[in-house]
C-alpha cells in the first residue's frame, strides 16, 4: 500500500540473471503499489563481508583483545560504526519489509549477504539481551527470503537427498530474523531455474509479481521448530 | 598418526580469543602426534569472501551473462582460477582432515569462512554431478566443525529457544561437507565461553586437546536427516 517502505537486499553478480529479474520485478510491482523501494545491491556496492576492526571508527574499548561483538555494540551506542554500516542500518530502520534476494549457495546465502547479516545486525541495533526473538529490537518489521536453488524441488523434498528445503531456512529465518524480532513471511523459492526452459523462467517471474500483489495481506509464518521440522 | 595431514581453516580476528587458543591447541597436539598441520588463518590472510568475476583469470565462457558456477567450473578445468583459490584447493587436496574453527555467527559460520566454502569448493574440484554426497570428489577426507557459541547449551537444547544445535549443523555438515563426499566427525562445541570463568575456559582447551589424542580412532557420524532432526 502507498507509503510502505521496502528494502531489498540483493546478492547476484549479474543483472541479467533470474535473481536480477526477480529483484527488478519486485521493484516494479512494489513501486506500482505506491511503496517506496530501496535496493542494497551488494556486489555492485562491493559490500564488505568481513567483520573486522575497521567497522569501528576511533578507539576500541579493549585494544588488547579484540572482541567484535562487544566493540561493535559499544561503537553503535556512541555512533562510532563505520559509514557503510550506518547507511545499511538506516535503510533497515526505515523499512517495513526486508526482502532478501539471492541464489542459494551451499544451503545458505552467499558470503556477501552473510556478511551483511554479520555486520549490520549489531547488538544494540537489532537485538540486546533480553530483547531477542519475539521482543527483538526490529519487531514490527517483516522479512521474506526469496531465492533460487541449484537442486530440484524433488531433491529438496522431505525424503529427498538434500532434505526438506525448510531445514536450510531455520538459520536464516529463525536464527537471524526471528532473533531480531522480525516476523517472517513464507519464503519464495524458484527451484533449479538453470535447468528449465526460458518459458518456465518467465512463469517464475510472473508468479513472483503475482504474489507481490497480495503480499501485504499475508500472515507471517509461525516461526517455531514445528514449521521447520514437523 | 605420523604422516597424516590436517588443514585448519580458522576464522577469528583475535589470536588471544578462545578460538585462537583452540586453534593453537590443535596445531600443538596434532603436530606432537606427527601430523603435518597447515592453517588457513582467514582474517590474517584478508581472505576474499565475495564470489566475483575476479576468481577467473582470462576470458569468460560467456561474458554477456556472468554465471559464477559455470565460469569457475570451466576455469578450474583449464587451470584458470585465481591464485588464492588454487592455493586453498591444494591444501584441501593434500589434507586427510579439515578442521573448521570459528565462532558461530547467526546460526552459521562467519561470512569470511562462508566465502571460503563458496569460492574454494568449486564444481569439478569438490563435486561434479553425479559425483556428490557419498560419491563427492573429496571422499576419503574427514571434516570436523569446531566452534564457540554466544548462546548457552540450554538455549541450544531440543526444547530450547534456539532449537537443537544440530539444526544449525545441517547446512554446514550435510549441505557442504557431505555434498562433497567428506565424512564428518562429531562437532566440537564450546558453549558460551564469554559467560564462564577463566577456569572453565581452560577446561575447554584441555577437553579439546584430550579429544584430539584419540581423534583418529573416531568413527564419522551417520550424516543423514535422522542425526539432525530425529
Q: Per-residue pLDDT tens for B167-221?
A: 999 999 999 999 999 999 999 999 999 999 999 999 999 999 999 999 999 999 9
Q: What is the pLDDT of residue B122?
A: 98
ipTM of the complex as predicted: 0.98
CB B30 within 8 A of CB B37: yes
CB B137 within 8 A of CB B181: yes
Give domain A5-229's CATH architecture: 3-Layer(aba) Sandwich (3.40)
B229·A167 Cβ contact <8 A: yes
* Residue whose cell numbers read 566475483: B52
CB B139 within 8 A of CB B181: yes
Question: pLDDT-derived band of residue B2, with 50, 70 and 90 as boundaries?
Answer: confident
- Cell for B27? 596445531
Tell me the CA end-to-end span of chain B in Å, nearest whole number.
34
Average pLDDT over residues B143-151: 98
Question: pLDDT-derived band of residue A2, with 50, 70 and 90 as boundaries?
Answer: confident
Q: What is the pLDDT of residue A63?
A: 96
CA A109 to chain CA centroid, nearest Å: 9
CB A98 within 8 A of CB A92: yes
B107·A69 Cβ contact <8 A: no
Q: What is the pLDDT of residue B1?
A: 79
CA distance B1 to B114: 30
Reduced to 3 states (helix: H, G, I; strand: E, B; else coil), residue A44 is coil
Percent of chain A with pLDDT over 90: 98
CA distance B80 to B182: 25
Comparison of pLDDT for A190 and B2, the residue scoring more: A190
B167·A111 Cβ contact <8 A: no
Q: Does A167 touch chain B (CB under 8 A)?
A: yes
CA max distance for chain A:
59
Give me the helices (H) in chain A, please: 18-32, 68-77, 83-94, 111-120, 165-169, 198-213, 225-229
Beta bridge partners of A165: none
CA distance B50 to B85: 12
Q: Does A181 touch chain B (CB under 8 A)?
A: no
CA distance A28 to A21: 10
Residues 16-75 of B with CB under 8 A from A: 16-17, 43, 46-47, 49-53, 64-69
Q: What is the pLDDT of residue A1?
A: 79
CB A37 within 8 A of CB A6: yes
Q: Over B39-73, what HEC string results?
A: EEECCCCCCCCCCCHHHECCCCCCCCCCCHHHHHH
Pairing mode, strands A188-190 and B5-10 = unpaired
Q: Per-residue pLDDT tens for A19-68?
A: 999 999 999 999 999 999 999 999 999 999 999 999 999 999 999 999 99
Taking the CB of residue B141, how many other CB atoms lie within 10 A of it?
A: 20
> What are the residues whose beta carbons fall under 8 Å from the beta carbon of A67, sequence distance 6 or more?
B14, B17, B194
Tell me the CA end-to-end span of chain A in Å, nearest whole number.
34
pTM: 0.98
Q: Per-residue pLDDT tens for B115-142?
A: 999 999 999 999 998 999 999 999 999 9
CA distance A1 to A178: 24
CB B116 within 8 A of CB B47: yes
Pairing mode, strands A183-184 and B36-41 = unpaired
Q: Does A174 touch chain B (CB under 8 A)?
A: yes
CB B147 within 8 A of CB B103: yes
| CA nearest to B19 within chain A | A67
* Residue whose cell numbers read 550435510: B174
Residues 104-163 of B with CB under 8 A from A: 105-112, 114-115, 117-119, 121, 133, 150, 161-163
CA distances from B189 to A2, A182, B148 (A): 48, 28, 6
Q: What is the pLDDT of residue B110?
A: 99
Contacts of B71 in chain A (CB under 8 A): none
CA max distance for chain B:
59
Q: Per-residue pLDDT tens for B75-113?
A: 999 999 999 999 999 999 999 999 999 999 999 999 999
- Cell for B36? 603435518
Contacts of B109 in chain A (CB under 8 A): 114
User: Across chain A, what does the average pLDDT equal?
Assistant: 97
- Cis bond upstream, residue B227 (ω within 30): no
Instruction: Tell me which residue in A46, A114, A121 faces B111 most closely, judged by beta carbons.
Output: A114
Reduced to 3 states (helix: H, G, I; strand: E, B; else coil), residue B27 is helix
Mutate to test the interface with A, among B21, B45, B50, B230 (most CBs of A within 10 A): B50
A17·B176 Cβ contact <8 A: no
Instruction: Tell me which residue in B65, B108, B225 faces A14 most closely, judged by beta carbons.
Output: B65
Beta bridge partners of B123: B127
Q: What is the pLDDT of residue A97?
A: 98
Mutate to test the interface with B, among A65, A103, A106, A145 (most CBs of B within 10 A): A106
CB A170 within 8 A of CB B167: yes
Average pLDDT over residues A112-124: 98
Amino acid at each position: 500500500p502507498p507509503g510502505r517502505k521496502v528494502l531489498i537486499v540483493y546478492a547476484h553478480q549479474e543483472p541479467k540473471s533470474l535473481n536480477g529479474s526477480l529483484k527488478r520485478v519486485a521493484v516494479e510491482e512494489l513501486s506500482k503499489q505506491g511503496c517506496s523501494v530501496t535496493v542494497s545491491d551488494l556486489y555492485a556496492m562491493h559490500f564488505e563481508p568481513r567483520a573486522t576492526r575497521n567497522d569501528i571508527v576511533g578507539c576500541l574499548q579493549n585494544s588488547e583483545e579484540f572482541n567484535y561483538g562487544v566493540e561493535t555494540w559499544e561503537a553503535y551506542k556512541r555512533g562510532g560504526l563505520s559509514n557503510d554500516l550506518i547507511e545499511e542500518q538506516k535503510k533497515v530502520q526505515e523499512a517495513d519489509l526486508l526482502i532478501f534476494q539471492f541464489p542459494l549457495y551451499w544451503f545458505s546465502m552467499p558470503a556477501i549477504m552473510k556478511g551483511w547479516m554479520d555486520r549490520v545486525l549489531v547488538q544494540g541495533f537489532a537485538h540486546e539481551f533480553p530483547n531477542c526473538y519475539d521482543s527483538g529490537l526490529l519487531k514490527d518489521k517483516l522479512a521474506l527470503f526469496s531465492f533460487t536453488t541449484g537442486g530440484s524441488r524433488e531433491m529438496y523434498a522431505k525424503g529427498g537427498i538434500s532434505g526438506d528445503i525448510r531445514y536450510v531456512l531455520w538459520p536464516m529465518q529463525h536464527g537471524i530474523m526471528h532473533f531480531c524480532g522480525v516476523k517472517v513471511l513464507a519464503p519464495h523459492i524458484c527451484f533449479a531455474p538453470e535447468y528449465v526452459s526460458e518459458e518456465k523462467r518467465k512463469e517464475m517471474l510472473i508468479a513472483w509479481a503475482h504474489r507481490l500483489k497480495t503480499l501485504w495481506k499475508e500472515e507471517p509464518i509461525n516461526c517455531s521448530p514445528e514449521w521447520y521440522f514437523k
